[in-house]
Amino acid sequence: MNWITKFIKPKIKSLFKKKLSDNNEALWISCECKNLVYKDELYNNLSVCPSCGFHHKLTSEERFKIFFDNKKFEILETPLPKDDPLKFPKYSEKLKQSREKTKQTDAILIADGNLDGIRITVGAQNFNFIGGAVGAASGEAFIHGIQHAINNKTPFIFFSCSGGQKMQEGAIALMQMTRTVLAVNELKKNSLPYVVVMTNPTTGGVSASFAMLGDILIGEPKSVIAFAGRRVIQNTVKEDLPEDFQTAEFVKDHGGIDLVVERKYMRSTISTLLSILLKKKEVQNISEVNEESSISETLQKTSKAV
Ligand SMILES: [Zn+2]
């Protein structure tokens, strides 16, 4: 790569009829604002477009790198259930490709580290892994993350980015909605803060379960936060919907979430929130002793009841 490759956009270069190699093309990213942004410039700006402020998607690891103190964190090993329980057509192949592409076993990664010196457990969904869809493996990862937070008495922060549940796992995927909600309940019984950052997009079963249950709900600017898609609603209500319908700003204005926070302020905002919430916890602990609880016990009890 030389300075010409770095600073001259592919479009301009094409005027000189020079054929770009694949490698050169990959140096630029096309943004929502139709501008081509140099990849390094985008990464140095937390993957936020310098021209229009669009917040581009991050992988789970990229999210951890910009969120934890000094980019230091430990990714936890989470249980991996049997693949493709329903033998859904082409699903095994898709899993294999996604694992090769993302170097993750499923869409959710859990990590342990610090934020401004506060020990935290963080989960993040990777949209590159089958649209961040939740099935048994993601459900297990989420629950493992919550159990880790309870065992180590840390707050739990989750960055959601998903189209919903995995259709390839049918009812097993839908069951994860209840299981993750029960897990969040255990976290709350232990008076540990749960903060959710909804990134673009947070939709379907994810928005209808664990993502909406944070003590504080934060949206990244312009993120789509919804259950059903815009077109489905439009066709049902037969009315024109506002242009900003289902954006984080719209959802906040209608009381669905608490804050819309730019990525560059995410660390400082959550750090401030946690310091307030944890102080509250100390006050509570003086008057009441929390019973240690195990998520697996609760889940077992629930499944027996069913
Ligand atoms: Zn842009």
Q: 306: buried, middle or exposed (CB in 10 Å: 19+, 13-18, 0-12)? A: exposed
User: Are 195 and 165 members of one domain?
Assistant: yes
Of the pLDDT bands very low, low, confident and very high (cuts 50, 70, 90), residue 18 is very low
Asked if 225 and 198 touch (Cβ cutoff 8 Å), the reply is yes
Beta strands in the chain (DSSP E): 28-30, 36-38, 73-75, 108-115, 118-125, 156-162, 194-202, 216-219, 259-260
User: Are 44 and 185 members of one domain?
Assistant: no
Mean pLDDT for 137-147 is 98
User: Are 140 and 17 members of one domain?
Assistant: no
User: Are 93 and 29 members of one domain?
Assistant: no
CATH of the domain at 237: 3.90.226.10
Which of 60-69, 91-100, 284-293 bottoms out in mean pLDDT, i.e. has the lowest?
284-293
Residue 4 confidence (pLDDT): 53
CA of 48 to the centre of ligand 1 (A): 8
Residue 26 confidence (pLDDT): 72
Asked if 183 and 143 touch (Cβ cutoff 8 Å), the reply is yes
User: Are 205 and 126 members of one domain?
Assistant: yes
pLDDT at 284 over 90: no
**pLDDT greater at residue 162 or residue 292:** 162
**pLDDT greater at residue 306 or residue 57:** 57
Specify the number of domains making up the chain.
2
pLDDT at 43 over 70: yes
Percent of the chain with pLDDT over 70: 83
User: Are 2 and 120 members of one domain?
Assistant: no
Of 56, 72, 98, the residue at which a domain comes to its end is 56
Note the pTM of the prediction, 2 decimals. 0.86
pLDDT at 20 over 50: no
Comparing CA positions, the residue from 152, 110, 120 lying closest to residue 266 is 120
Comparing CA positions, the residue from 173, 151, 156 lying closest to residue 164 is 173
User: Are 298 and 171 members of one domain?
Assistant: yes
CA of 34 to the centre of ligand 1 (A): 7
Asked if 153 and 120 touch (Cβ cutoff 8 Å), the reply is no
Summarize pLDDT for 244-283 with one digit per residue, the tens.
999 999 999 999 999 999 999 999 999 999 999 998 545 4
User: Are 230 and 107 members of one domain?
Assistant: yes
**Sign of torsion, CA 283 289 293 299?**
negative
CA of 52 to the centre of ligand 1 (A): 4
User: Are 12 and 102 members of one domain?
Assistant: no
Of 39, 56, 73, the residue at which a domain comes to its end is 56
**Domain span holding position 270:** 58-305
Of 21, 37, 56, the residue at which a domain comes to its end is 56
One-letter identity of residue 228: A
pLDDT at 2 over 60: no
Summarize pLDDT for 157-199 with one digit per residue, the tens.
999 999 999 999 999 999 999 999 999 999 999 999 999 999 9
Residue 278 confidence (pLDDT): 92
Residue 290 confidence (pLDDT): 47
User: Are 4 and 51 members of one domain?
Assistant: yes
- β partners of residue 113: 73, 120
CA of 8 to the centre of ligand 1 (A): 17
CA of 28 to the centre of ligand 1 (A): 12
User: Are 43 and 127 members of one domain?
Assistant: no
Summarize pLDDT for 66-90 with one digit per residue, the tens.
999 999 999 999 999 999 999 999 9
User: Are 70 and 175 members of one domain?
Assistant: yes
CA distance 110 to 221: 24
pLDDT at 145 over 80: yes
CA of 42 to the centre of ligand 1 (A): 10
